[in-house]
Structure 1
């Protein structure tokens, strides 16, 4: 995971946990469907990047990368925890 953070400047590293928190809040909101959460995070990630560094292609790309890293890292944690829980239930 640490290698993936080299894709972003250090100033963008705070966006990833912020997107995790926003995604968690969206997941707990009953009227937001799951498929829409990724799009909400993408829009917020790009807007945050562009507000930090101006509206240019690089900022947009870094917002997309930050969103991708947030979703990817969340899935790593989620899938790993689900695997461990599944093994415990199955007695493996």
Structure 2
């Protein structure tokens, strides 16, 4: 299933997901950014990065949203699998 999903995801976007992880980590460590705002910051950056690669069209915006979703979802998988005791 993951391979079929990655088939629709262009290869240039593989670099956006780890970049969003790093940006999210930096935002989490910044004391004046509330937690609820981090997802919105990542969404804006993901869409801007994808539109920077492919121009302002519907597909680029959708792939920016998907890249942000993959970054947040994969972070939650790691967090809830390996850091269960801290939750």
TM-score, normalization: structure 2? 0.90
User: 5+ unaligned residues in a row in structure 1: which ranges?
Assistant: 87-92
Aligned length: 84
- Indicate conservation of the 8 Å contact 1:15/1:45, yes or no: yes
- Superposed CA RMSD: 1.4
Which structure has the bigger radius of gyration? 1
Partner of 1:54: 55
Structure 1 residue 2: Cα displacement: 4.3
Alpha-carbon distance in 2 for matches of 1:77, 1:53 = 30
Where in structure 1 do 4 or more consecutive aligned residues deviate above 4 Å? none
1:25 matched residue in structure 2: 26
C-alpha distance in structure 2 between counterparts of 1:5 and 1:25, whole Å: 27
Contact 1:5 1:13 (8 Å CA) reproduced = no
After TM superposition, the score normalised by the length of structure 1 is 0.85
Deviation at 1:30, TM superposition (A): 0.2
Can you give the 5+ residue segments of structure 2 that lack an aligned partner in the other structure?
A: none
